């Protein structure tokens, strides 16, 4: 018998995260009394402008860049879209983009749209462990390549790419390099000092800040054309009145991320590892997806033979356990995840895949609950499907 949930066990932190209470506390004054517009000339506006600048410093400190190299955006998707748009607007003779088959849809779909408009895209594949091939990257860059975009860490498998090496290869060829670091920031150390990265995307809600705020690092020597056009905010690089409270929250979240990155790699990693080995001990026919030697400390992607992950999500939901499937439900049909497909998995393996992602707000009790609920749900479904 499956137990009734009394509390949510939230193991879907790559989808979004709980707001850290300290982040909310930092934001509150800017949602209430201090509602000034940062562009206003009087002191009430200046207070908001100062708060935005302090947040910029906090973000810059986390990733080892200058505050002037950070602009605030509405989300990770905007940061990714803005980079591609800017890079392609610089030189009309450069209409070629290189990216990977395992990027988030904000790069993937943008590139598919570009292809329809006549741009040429080279899609780098990955091996069965989700790894890119740097020699292949080196080979596909051309004289007309505008930008190369490779994510720092994959949202589904947690696989971490060799970004410093990739950026160095791309710089050598005098081409712009972007990395979508949305899943990496706060989970692993990211340091842009000495790096050859031109653009890096950040999203607030993946690091215990509210949804609807992001940031983009733009290397100070790199030219940039704004994507959101209108007012002259963000030094003319991103129009729109600043989302002051959320920007303040993002700054605080980055400060906390710097303090907690070690815990991510000890405590959170230990939650993930105990859960993963517990599942492998309790359930037959399970495989771990992705390069376990180079993986985010909080993520495990597991393929269970003979199950349908959407059905398991429903069973786990009844138990109060939140996680993700390795497939996306589009217009009623289950499309296997593009990431798992790029890794060469057949549809059955992709359909039997679940992603569990932990955070510093999980507890040992969450791991215990998940280690009861997941095996029970898998067993129940396997019995049902075999009957």
User: Which residues are near ligand PLP by CB under 6 A?
Assistant: 75-77, 80, 104, 106, 151, 155, 180, 182-183, 203, 205, 214
Report in angstroms the alpha-carbon separations of 68 from 64, 169, 180, 216, 305.
Answer: 12, 26, 19, 11, 50
How far is residue 317's CA from residue 8's CA, in Å, rounded to a whole number?
A: 9
Please, which residue, 167 or 182, has the CB nearer to ligand PLP?
Answer: 182
Does the annotation count 75 as an active-site position? no
Please, which residue, 203 or 377, has the CB nearer to ligand PLP?
Answer: 203
**Smallest distance, ligand PLP to C-beta of residue 151, A:** 5
Instruction: Kindly write down the DSSP assignment for every residue of 306-326, as one continuous string.
Output: T--HHHHHHHHHHTTEE-EES
Handedness of CA 34, 40, 44, 50 (dihedral sign): positive
**Smallest distance, ligand PLP to C-beta of residue 112, A:** 16
Please, which residue, 49 or 121, has the CB nearer to ligand PLP?
Answer: 121
**Smallest distance, ligand PLP to C-beta of residue 241, A:** 19
**Smallest distance, ligand PLP to C-beta of residue 87, A:** 17
CA angle (369, 371, 376) in 5-degree steps: 100
Cα end-to-end span (Å), the chain = 18
How far is residue 250's CA from residue 86's CA, in Å, rounded to a whole number?
A: 24
Please, which residue, 80 or 195, has the CB nearer to ligand PLP?
Answer: 80
Q: How many CA atoms lie within 13 A of 278 on its CB side?
A: 18
Please, which residue, 103 or 319, has the CB nearer to ligand PLP?
Answer: 103
**Smallest distance, ligand PLP to C-beta of residue 102, A:** 10
CB 64 within 8 A of CB 58: no
How far is residue 263's CA from residue 198's CA, in Å, rounded to a whole number?
A: 29
Please, which residue, 209 or 286, has the CB nearer to ligand PLP?
Answer: 209
Please, which residue, 76 or 336, has the CB nearer to ligand PLP?
Answer: 76
**Smallest distance, ligand PLP to C-beta of residue 103, A:** 7
CB 271 within 8 A of CB 362: yes
Burial class (CB in 10 A: 0-12, 13-18, 19+), 197: buried
Q: Which of 65, 75, 209, 329 is catalytic?
A: 329
CB 208 within 8 A of CB 197: no
For 9, residues 6+ apart whose C-beta sits below 8 A from its C-beta are 319, 320, 321, 322, 362, 366, 369, 370, 373
Q: How many CA atoms lie within 13 A of 343 on its CB side?
A: 26
**Smallest distance, ligand PLP to C-beta of residue 158, A:** 11
By beta carbon distance, the residue nearest ligand PLP is: 76
Please, which residue, 80 or 100, has the CB nearer to ligand PLP?
Answer: 80
CB 218 within 8 A of CB 199: yes
CB 351 within 8 A of CB 327: yes
Q: In this structure, what token pair is assigned to residue 385?
A: 């499907």
**Smallest distance, ligand PLP to C-beta of residue 171, A:** 22
Give me the active site residues, please: 329
């Amino acid at each position: 018998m499956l137990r009734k949930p009394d509390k949510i066990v939230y193991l879907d932190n790559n989808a979004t995260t709980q707001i850290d209470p300290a982040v909310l506390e930092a934001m509150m004054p800017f949602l209430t009394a201090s509602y000034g517009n940062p562009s206003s000339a009087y002191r009430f506006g200046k207070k908001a402008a100062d708060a935005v600048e302090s947040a910029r410093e906090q973000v810059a400190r986390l990733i080892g860049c200058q505050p002037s190299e950070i602009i605030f955006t509405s989300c990770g998707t905007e940061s990714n879209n803005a980079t591609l748009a800017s890079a392609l607007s610089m030189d009309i003779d450069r209409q070629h983009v290189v990216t990977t088959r395992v990027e988030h849809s904000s790069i993937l779909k943008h590139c598919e749209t570009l292809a329809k408009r006549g741009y040429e895209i080279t899609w780098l594949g990955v091996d069965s462990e989700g790894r890119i091939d740097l020699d292949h990257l080196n080979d596909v860059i051309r004289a007309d390549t505008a930008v190369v975009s490779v994510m720092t860490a994959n949202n589904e498998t947690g696989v971490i790419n060799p970004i410093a090496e990739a950026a160095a290869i791309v710089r050598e060829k005098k081409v712009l390099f972007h990395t979508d670091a949305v899943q990496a920031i706060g989970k692993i150390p990211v340091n842009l000092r000495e790096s050859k990265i031109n653009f890096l995307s950040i999203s607030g809600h993946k690091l215990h800040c509210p949804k609807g705020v992001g940031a983009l690092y733009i290397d100070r020597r790199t030219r940039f054309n704004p994507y959101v056009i209108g007012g002259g905010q963000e030094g003319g690089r991103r129009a729109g009145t600043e989302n002051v409270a959320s920007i303040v929250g993002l700054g605080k979240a980055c400060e906390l991320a710097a303090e907690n990155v070690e815990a991510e790699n000890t405590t959170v990693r230990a939650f993930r590892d105990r859960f993963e080995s517990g599942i492998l001990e309790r359930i037959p026919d399970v495989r771990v997806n992705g390069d376990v030697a180079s993986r985010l400390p909080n993520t495990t992607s597991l393929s269970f033979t003979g199950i349908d992950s959407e059905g398991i999500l429903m069973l786990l939901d009844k138990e109060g356990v939140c996680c993700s499937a390795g497939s996306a439900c589009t217009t009623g049909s289950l499309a296997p995840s593009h990431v798992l497909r790029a890794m060469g998995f057949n549809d059955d393996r992709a359909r039997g895949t679940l992603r569990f992602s932990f955070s510093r707000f999980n507890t040992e009790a969450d791991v215990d609950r998940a280690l009861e609920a997941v095996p029970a749900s898998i067993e129940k479904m396997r019995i049902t499907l075999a009957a």
